[in-house]
Amino acid sequence: MSYSNRRNRGRGAFSYFLEFIIIIAGITVSFFLNEWRAAKKAEEKKISLLQEINNDLAKDSIQLELSIKLYQKLLNSHDSLLENAKSTLNEDSLDVYVDQVASYYPFKETQSTFLKIINDPDLVISKQDTLLELFLVIHNQLYQYTHEWTSNDKSFVLEQLLPYMDMHAPFYYPPPTNKSFQGKVFNALKKDDAFMNLLKSGRSYKSAILQVYGACLSQLKTYKSKVNNRLEKPIS
């Protein structure tokens, strides 16, 4: 009888059980280790996405701030014409005011990280990933709300205001370079209530867009602060 056979005959049931437990424990530890590595990798991926989101939000915030300043100018032009309908305005100022009345400026957000998230088949967003969920809400709801208002303003300018001005603006006022109308057409058009009502409607659109853009910018700043706070924490 060989030594190995004699050795196996001498082993009891407890010895086999202990060996089995050790094997199971090794498999279990290996399994949990792999799970931990996968979870850590997923967390690192989400942190990387938050860094990219932070960059996108910075760009969008700058763009919104510029849009707000521009729409404030457009609103001021409407107010200047409405408040001075019975006064004589400087011709250079009129050129600017009339040009801005017939203008619109849609906000366009940065979409790179948003598209990256929604097109990633391996990314699983859990209940704990509230920052990622909020980012999707910003794109799917908040930004869409701003687009609805700018689309309304665009439609108003292209389908109502400009066609009216094309139809009624005196031909003998040639437009300045890079402008659709000479400002002095206002002196002729302001005699028509329909045109003045269009100015009032245009002012309402610009005012609403300013409020929407301002609220959107406030939401972005709040969300960006939360993202910054998360990025400052170490990966668990």
In this predicted structure, the answer to whether residue 149 has a pLDDT above a threshold of 70 is yes
Model pLDDT, residue 155:
97
**pLDDT tens figures, 208-226:** 999 999 999 999 999 999 9
Distance of alpha carbon 83 from alpha carbon 77, whole angstroms: 10
Instruction: Report the alpha-carbon distance of residue 202 to residue 80 in Å, rounded.
Output: 13
Q: 186 pLDDT exceeds 90?
A: yes
The structure's pTM equals 0.80
How would residue 9 be classed by pLDDT, with cut points 50, 70 and 90?
A: low
Q: What is the pLDDT of residues 11-47, one digit of tens each?
A: 566 676 667 677 776 666 666 665 656 566 667 888 8
How far is residue 177 from each of residues 73, 174, 184, 194, measured CA to CA in Å? Answer: 20, 9, 14, 27
- pLDDT, average across residues 180-196: 91
Q: By percentage, how much of the chain surpasses pLDDT 70?
A: 83
Contact criterion met (CB below 8 Å) for 132 and 56 = no
Of the candidate ranges 57-71, 107-121, 221-235, the one whose mean pLDDT is the lowest: 221-235
Residues 6+ apart with CB under 8 A from 3: none
Query: How much of the chain exceeds pLDDT 90, in percent?
Result: 61
Q: What is the pLDDT of residue 20?
A: 67
pLDDT value at 10 more than 90: no
- For residue range 69-96, what is the model confidence (pLDDT) as tens digits? 999 999 999 999 999 888 888 888 999 9
What's the pLDDT band for 3 if we cut at 50, 70, 90? very low
The pLDDT of residue 147 is above 90: yes
CA atoms within 13 A on the CB side of 37: 6
